[in-house]
Chains A and B, each alone.
Chain A
Amino acid sequence: MQRIAIVDHGLCNVDSMWRAVEECGAKGDVTSDPADLAHADKIVLPGVGSFADAMDVLVRTGLAEAIREHVVVNGVPLLGVCLGMQLLANAGTEVRSTAGLGLIDADVVRLVPGGTGAIGATGATCATDRAERIPHVGWNEVDPRFDHAVFAGIPAGADFYFVHSYHVRCNDPSDVLATTPYCGGFTSAVARGRIVGTQFHPEKSQVHGLRLLRNFVAW
């Protein structure tokens, strides 16, 4: 059985992620101890809350260094979810500018209603007369740009659950795994090597979300 370390930086609902991972047939191991990552087959970095607070915790506890070591040096697969995906970037601007894990060449910026310029933007705008509200809350479609193991068996354009005000803006377009049509289109999933990130919450996205997590466990 796969052991999945779920990184607990004290700010998020690790319980939901743990239940979903167990539902997907893996052994979930919620931990805030960097040493535990050495025993993990894969790592999940979940998260809600503020970028700066989460990075403070990750750096102070040594988790940031341990994640980098296991993922970059040892090639352990990593899934970042929501804030966890944003933490993969170089820097975040929420509250104050803060360095991220730097695993994906990207920045984290606020969603702008009707805005454009996100890499991978579809150009589509919201076709309803309702303004685009921030936070982006609810179910929205996810359009993969290339085949990837974590999206195996999931139809293109399937709806996943989002709840966020910031998004990841990639500097290298080849890191953009999927986009979502909101605020001019933003990057809703990233992939680089054995690293994947989803802006949406697979653990809260019913059947498609659990399928994605099962795919990650099997990856």
Chain B
Amino acid sequence: MLKARVIPTLLYRDFTLVKGVRFDSRRVVGSPVQAVQVYNLRNVDELIFLDVRATLDERRPDFALIDEIADHCFMPLCVGGGVRDVDDVRELLAVGADKVALNTVAVEAPEVVRAASDRFGAQCVVVAIDTQRDGHGTPTVRIASGTHDTGLDPVAWAKEVESLGAGEILLQSIDHDGVMEGYDLETIRRVSDAVGVPVIASGGAGEFGHLLAAFVDGGATAVAAASMFHFTEQTPMEAREFLGAHGLPVRA
């Protein structure tokens, strides 16, 4: 049976790993290479590595860094941040990324999603969707590290990127990011029900029960978490054991 995945997220900025709250107030949590080595030893299901400043700084991805961390990664690695065109996707795959996350570029140039999917296969094209609720509590899609509101409806956008050839959706809630009080289950459920590709829930996990809820109540295919693994003693391995004890299929 396909296993429920638990994925640590590494956020990278200014040569270090950071973690913040609601995409802001980010503090340093360590070196990327060391973190990847530790997670590799801990036998995690997968890793997500996001360069959270690249698009804002108008930088391309740091291919040399990805090359270096991929050397320590005998598990799947999804890389995002700063991707602007199909050449960036190709180069990230060439240096060792297994999947590439497209976010801002997917909104600004949707043809890049289509081209990357046609050329490299849908299975390595992840579209990251950042959502934030407006004054009426309605979530909209934000790009450029959450700084720009596109006004797009997350469900409609998820269906659109699926039709463009995205093979997976990384659904992140800015409101819940770093708060550690649980995922945005409502949006996760709506998006999961609307698409046929896997959905990775992200933003808000503070305890193992939150992960369970994302699968059971949200219908997520996988869960990502950062603060929980950076700032608490809870580990991905223990998370899998907890999910397994509650009836979900997990890796031993």
Contact = CB atoms under 8 A, between A and B. Distances in A.
Interface in A199-215: 201, 203-207, 209-210
B119 interface: yes
* Interface band, chain B: 35 or more
A184 B95 CA distance: 35
Contacts of A161: 46, 75-76
A165 interface: yes
Interface string A11-30: 11111100110010000000
B98 A209 contact: no
A142 to B, nearest CB: 12
A137 B198 contact: yes
B97 A11 contact: no
A139 B251 contact: yes
B9 interface: no
A204 B119 contact: no
A135 B98 contact: no
A135 B75 contact: no
Given A137-B123, A137-B198, A15 B1 contact: no
B221 A137 contact: yes
Given A135-B167, A138-B2, A206 B93 contact: no
A138 B167 contact: no
Nearest to B125: A135
Contact of B249 (A16, A128, A131): A128
Interface residues of A, number: 46
Contact of B96 (A16, A135, A159, A163): A16
Contacts of B119: 11, 49-50, 53
B70 A140 contact: no
Interface string A124-136: 0011101111111
Contacts of A49: 119-121, 124
B34 interface: no
Nearest to B7: A138
B181 interface: no
A216 interface: no
A48 B93 contact: yes
B221 A48 contact: no
B167 A137 contact: yes
A128 B219 CA distance: 11
Contact of B67 (A11, A15, A113): A15
Contacts of A41: none
Interface of A: 11-16, 19-20, 23, 48-50, 53, 83, 95, 113, 126-128, 130-141, 159, 161, 163-165, 181-182, 201, 203-207, 209-210
8 contacts: A13-B97, A15-B94, A16-B98, A48-B93, A49-B119, A49-B121, A133-B221, A204-B75
Interface of B: 1-3, 5, 43, 45-46, 67, 70-71, 73-76, 93-99, 118-124, 167-168, 196-198, 219, 221-222, 248-249, 251-252
The 10 closest A-B pairs by CB, nearest first: A139-B3, A135-B123, A163-B123, A49-B120, A49-B121, A135-B167, A15-B96, A140-B2, A133-B198, A159-B251
